[in-house]
Copies of this chain bind each other. A is one copy, B any other.
């Protein structure tokens, strides 16, 4: 008899939560699957629409994220870039190469770099954002959203400027990484002379579901992540917590229908974590590992009982991640997370440079992200194993109508 990974690690959550000593069998119990059916390679999302794709779109499996600085001082050149990016994004998300339909010359560089020729659209989405630094130039200062302030320093931040910020950002998500990498590369190439890539991040596995049609994936701590995530189907809360409303900011009406993107590169101390007992891991998270059920019992989607008592205090500890992040502890706030696992080699001591590239879309970062992160950075027991090494905030304009370019209302 073979035992699959689907059949692993799970005594009843309540049994574990009660500190049951007889856990010998838990390695053989059934673990919920994090696996969805293989996505259709031909899946293609329209680049145009009321909102940009890549936000409530069911999170694709792979990510290439890039931040750019604008190197020109010409507003016209910046606008021309956004037009060219829009045209290229519409083509690539449809599975077409850049410049298809134009007449090429054998004596010129190809319009498309070619590594995705023959590959289907693979669910590619391209989502564009404008950073705070963009608004200091190009005559944009009067239209800068009030909420677009650089994120504050959080306790224990150890940010690398070379992995933080940027005038512009592009989030490329796809089910084939070669398609996502191809998209970022071609956008960078189109921007040559107008923008320079500041940093970029590859993500190999999504750590959140953004649709109820998706199973909950696992992060590199081995736990299901994003069980309580906002999902596209939660339309009322999406409207409340994700999309900027027309009344939100009189100086930034152009942003109505858009959102704010928070990015945080969070390194995980993989090796120490892997030497931590299952009990300690589950207490730090506040859920059992096998199925993602809260330590207070039930199954993955059972509501937490933050008041349930154990022998030495609350069953879900006071410093557990799920407690501190819970809406009841954060003024009712919910968040649309869209993060990815990453690994970027090893450091000089041979330790894996790996972790979670946190991405979240929020209506107002000052209300929907900063207070929670201040609390987590100061009190979350997990912080012993985490280090925030990159950070950025961008205003994400609304969707693009046919014939227009991304962010057009900002420049109108």
- A-B contacts, 26 of them at CB < 8 A, read A2-B94, A3-B100, A5-B96, A5-B118, A6-B118, A9-B112, A23-B104, A23-B105, A27-B111, A33-B118, A35-B119, A62-B177, A62-B204, A106-B278, A110-B278, A114-B221, A116-B218, A185-B220, A185-B352, A192-B271, A197-B351, A197-B352, A198-B350, A199-B346, A200-B352, A344-B345
Query: CB of A202 within 8 A of chain B?
Result: yes
A interface, by DSSP: helix, strand, loop or mixed? Answer: loop
Query: CB of A219 within 8 A of chain B?
Result: yes
Specify which chain B residues have a CB less than 8 angstroms from the CB of A94 in the assembled complex. Answer: 2, 4
Taking the nearest CB of chain B, how far is it from the CB of A408, in angstroms? 23
Within 8 A of B (CB), among A226-245: none
Q: Which residue from chain B places its CB closest to the CB of A341 in the assembled complex?
A: B178
Query: CB of A281 within 8 A of chain B?
Result: yes
Q: When the two chains form their complex, are residues B270 and A219 in contact, meaning their CB atoms are under 8 A apart?
A: no
Taking the nearest CB of chain B, how far is it from the CB of A267, in angstroms? 14
Across the interface, A117 reaches (CB within 8 A) one of B105, B117, B218, namely B218
Taking the nearest CB of chain B, how far is it from the CB of A357, in angstroms? 12
Across the interface, A181 reaches (CB within 8 A) one of B41, B204, B346, namely B204
Q: Which residue from chain B places its CB closest to the CB of A38 in the assembled complex?
A: B38
Across the interface, A109 reaches (CB within 8 A) one of B34, B110, B276, namely B276
The 6 closest A-B pairs by CB, nearest first: A114-B222, A34-B118, A177-B204, A178-B205, A33-B118, A3-B100
Q: When the two chains form their complex, are residues B115 and A218 in contact, meaning their CB atoms are under 8 A apart?
A: yes
Q: When the two chains form their complex, are residues B343 and A181 in contact, meaning their CB atoms are under 8 A apart?
A: yes
Within 8 A of B (CB), among A321-342: 341
Query: CB of A255 within 8 A of chain B?
Result: no
Q: Which residue from chain B places its CB closest to the CB of A220 in the assembled complex?
A: B115
Specify which chain B residues have a CB less than 8 angstroms from the CB of A27 in the assembled complex. Answer: 99-104, 111
Beyond A28-B100, A108-B278, 10 additional contacts (C-beta under 8 Å) are A4-B94, A6-B117, A6-B118, A24-B103, A31-B117, A104-B278, A106-B279, A110-B281, A196-B350, A202-B204
A41-B38, A118-B31 known; A107-B220 Cβ under 8 A:
no
Specify which chain B residues have a CB less than 8 angstroms from the CB of A38 in the assembled complex. Answer: 38-41
Specify which chain B residues have a CB less than 8 angstroms from the CB of A119 in the assembled complex. Answer: 5, 33-35
Specify which chain B residues have a CB less than 8 angstroms from the CB of A221 in the assembled complex. Answer: 114-115
